[in-house]
């Protein structure tokens, strides 16, 4: 009887022992976190994937229950995954989550908590929340070995992320990480995130595991608690900026070719936002070609940008203005009335037929005739002067009939 009682009591006590050792899932309340929004730039094509998948390895061991600043290392590790999950842009990723450190008669037990599957923000977070604190040893080597098998179905580059306290002195995580790296080569980088106190030995283990991956890096969890800190980490691990070649500016005017409406602008020539040389007086002739850069608004100019009265008719060898030209001169008078601060030199010019003396006299008389007409239209004589230049200042060559016709002109030189 006593033997049966002792057996029953032993069974009950053993059951309580198992229950006390059984893993449980403490509720984790994550601190308020507003992630940096990477989606706008991601959708705009400013980023491209750096990794196609991630394999998260979460330390749920007994040592993860140690508290640092009022919270357990396990809670800090979950908090890291929460912030990472919230910060990732809406990109296509393969994903998996494995935890280790659960109490068992077999020290090497690890658990695949999620995936491998297409990453889903809500589903992944639910899996993180469900992971229990295991209260067991820390077989990080087994976690890497099992993760290596998990990754077999993933294609493309995978970021392996270990989150833990580095208390792995009894387990050779570095060798296991090297084995995983050897299996997947350039398609795998290893990143480690240290939670809990920064003990030198633990930090070194985490650094050495990251180094085994050859292309990842080690970081401390407190550095990744701010939105910007986590965003920078996500950029370094998951995405990279698209390098866009600078648009060409072939003529070097500061306006890119795809926007330049005047390609081939001379070097050092000032241009407007369209890439065209400036036309300060708005006469349609660019400043770099304008020989008369201060023409008033509304004035008719020639190819040089100079104010000319095109089509003023005189009788041959005379200075009498024909009535057909009155409208042209009336337009000049109107411009002068609209610009009361403008004075004008009326210049008479001829072609090179005939003597210099005759052409000089003719040009003076024609200039005076135009000036007198303008005075008759109400323009003050104080604003006008008349000069004749004969054929001494041709606008173009006199070798052709068209050139000579262009040289027989009345030109108006503004004097502001």
Reading the chain (416 residues) residue by residue, the pLDDT tens digits are 454 544 444 444 444 444 444 445 555 678 899 999 999 989 988 999 999 999 999 999 987 667 766 678 899 999 999 999 999 999 999 999 999 998 765 555 799 999 999 999 999 999 999 999 877 889 999 999 999 999 999 999 999 999 999 999 999 999 999 999 999 999 999 999 999 888 999 999 999 999 999 999 999 999 999 999 999 999 999 999 887 777 788 888 878 888 888 888 887 788 888 888 888 888 888 888 888 888 888 888 888 888 877 777 776 678 888 888 899 899 999 999 999 998 999 999 999 999 999 999 998 999 999 999 999 999 999 999 999 999 999 989 999 998 888 888 888 888 86
Q: Is the Cα torsion angle 285, 290, 293, 295 positive or negative in sign?
A: negative
Q: Within 13 Å of residue 327, how many CA atoms lie on the same side as its CB?
A: 2
Which candidate, 332, 308, 286, places its Cα nearest to that of 396?
A: 308
Predicted local distance difference test score (pLDDT) of residue 68: 66
Q: Cα angle vertex 64, ends 58, 66, to 5°?
A: 160
Radius of gyration in angstroms for the set of CA atoms belonging to the chain, rounded to a whole number: 44
The tokens describing 380, both together, are 């003050």
Confidence at residue 408, expressed as pLDDT on a 0 to 100 scale: 85
CATH no. of 26-241: 3.40.50.410
How many C-beta atoms lie closer than 10 Å to residue 285's C-beta? 21
What residue ranges do the domains of the chain occupy?
26-241, 250-278, 307-415
345: closest CA among 363, 329, 313, 367? 367
Q: 345, 409 in Cβ contact below 8 A?
A: no
Evaluate if pTM is beyond 0.75: no
319's CB contacts (< 8 A; 6+ apart) are: 362, 365, 366, 368, 369
Which tokens is 332 given?
């000049």
Second-level CATH architecture of 307-415: 2-Layer Sandwich (3.30)
List of long-range contacts for 331-336, beta carbons under 8 Å, 24+ apart: 331/298, 331/300, 332/374, 332/412, 333/374, 333/377, 333/378, 333/379, 334/298, 335/296, 335/297, 335/298, 335/299, 336/374, 336/379, 336/383
């Amino acid at each position: 009887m006593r033997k049966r009682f002792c057996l029953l009591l032993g069974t009950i006590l053993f059951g309580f022992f198992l229950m006390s050792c059984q893993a449980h899932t403490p509720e984790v309340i994550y601190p308020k976190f507003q992630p940096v929004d990477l989606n706008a730039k991601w959708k705009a094509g400013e980023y491209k994937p750096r990794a196609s998948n991630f394999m998260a390895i979460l330390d749920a061991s007994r040592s993860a229950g140690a508290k640092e600043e009022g919270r357990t290392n396990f809670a800090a590790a979950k908090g890291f995954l929460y912030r990472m999950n919230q910060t990732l842009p809406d990109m296509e990723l393969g994903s998996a989550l494995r935890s280790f450190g659960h109490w068992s008669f077999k020290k090497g037990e690890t658990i695949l908590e999620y995936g491998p599957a297409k990453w889903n923000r809500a589903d992944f977070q639910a899996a993180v929340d469900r992971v229990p604190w295991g209260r067991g040893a820390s077989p990080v080597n087994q976690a890497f070995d099992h993760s290596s098998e998990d990754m077999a179905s993933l294609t493309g580059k995978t970021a392996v992320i270990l989150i833990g306290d580095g208390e792995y002195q009894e387990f050779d995580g570095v060798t296991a990480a090297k084995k995983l790296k050897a299996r997947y080569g350039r398609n795998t980088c290893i990143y480690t995130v240290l939670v809990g106190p920064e003990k030198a030995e633990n930090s070194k283990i985490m650094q050495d595991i990251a180094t085994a991956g050859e292309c990842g890096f080690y970081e401390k969890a407190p550095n990744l608690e701010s939105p910007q800190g986590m965003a920078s980490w996500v950029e370094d691990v998951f995405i990279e900026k698209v390098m866009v070649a600078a648009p060409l500016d072939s003529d070097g005017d500061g306006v890119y070719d795809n926007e330049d409406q005047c390609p081939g602008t001379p070097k050092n020539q000032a241009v407007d936002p369209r890439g065209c040389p400036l036309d300060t007086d708005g006469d349609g002739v660019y400043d770099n070609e304008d020989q008369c850069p201060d023409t008033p608004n509304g004035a008719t100019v020639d190819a040089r940008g100079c104010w000319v009265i095109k089509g003023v008719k005189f009788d041959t060898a005379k200075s009498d203005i024909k009535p057909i030209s009155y409208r042209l001169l009336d337009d000049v008078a109107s411009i002068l009335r609209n610009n009361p601060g403008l004075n004008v030199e009326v210049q008479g010019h001829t072609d090179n037929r005939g003597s210099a003396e005759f052409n000089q006299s003719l040009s003076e008389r024609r200039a005076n005739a135009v000036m007198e007409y303008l005075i008759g239209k109400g323009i003050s004589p104080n604003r006008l002067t008349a000069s004749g230049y004969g054929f001494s200042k041709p606008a173009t060559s006199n070798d052709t009939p068209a050139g000579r016709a262009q040289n027989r002109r009345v030109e108006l030189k503004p004097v502001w």
